[in-house]
Amino acid sequence: MTRGLIILNVVLLVLVGVLFYLHFSSKNNNGSNKVAGVKTEGAATPFRIAYFEMDSVTNNFAMVKDVKNELSRREQDMTNDLARMEKDLMNKAKEYQSQPLSQVESEVATNDMRERQRRYEMQKGKYDQEYQDLYMNKMVEVRTKIEEFLKEYNKEKTYTYIFSYEPGFIYYRDTMYNITADLIKGLNAKYPNKKK
């Protein structure tokens, strides 16, 4: 996820540089280029950029809500299983501590506790990896749905670029080019909600 944001930041930085170049080089062409729908001489289509509010999509897209619920259920199941294992581990430790043990029995008990602790740690690591894999797969699914919808949506709208707005990355945006409502409406219409 972080790697994707870094790549997006680099792409956006390059695009801003291109826009600045086009804007300031247009002064030499007697103002024939426009910035807000940049149309250059000889270009067949206007250069148009739209954006959507990712927070709004996250809060209103039914698929994202379903993914959050699924991840929450899975995390709770894993937490419950680990809590059960930890409780069994503690109970066994109390059992060993409550009885007098010979040297051999003490060594056997110590080895048993180490093995139980090892199994617990392995299970915890396995669950952590499973959860991370599930999270990444679900985020890829959501991203794919958004990208597929935007490709279809853009056939009619013909934007050159469509960005997701992230606070702190874009400092100004004209709400005229905000397509968030269209995106949420379209995504929810295409998403087969399992609860219906």
**Structural domain boundaries, residue 134:** 48-190
Instruction: Dump pLDDT digits (tens) for 135-174.
Output: 999 999 999 999 999 999 999 988 898 988 877 777 777 7
Q: What is the pTM of this model?
A: 0.67
Task: Spell out the SS3 assignment of 115-166.
Answer: HHHHHHHHHHHHHHHHHHHHHHHHHHHHHHHHHHHHHHHHHHHCCCEEEEEC
The crossing angle, in degrees rounded to 10, of helices 180-190 and 103-157 is 110
Is residue 195 in a domain?
Answer: no
Identify the CATH number of the domain in which residue 129 sits. 3.30.910.20
73 plus 8 within the same structural domain: no
Instruction: Dump pLDDT digits (tens) for 77-115.
Output: 999 999 999 999 999 999 989 988 889 988 999 999 999
**Domains held by the chain: number:** 2
152 plus 96 within the same structural domain: yes
C-alpha pair distances (Å), 16 with each of 11, 46, 73, 83: 9, 17, 42, 50
Query: On the CB side of 112, how many CA atoms lie within 13 Å of its CA?
Result: 14
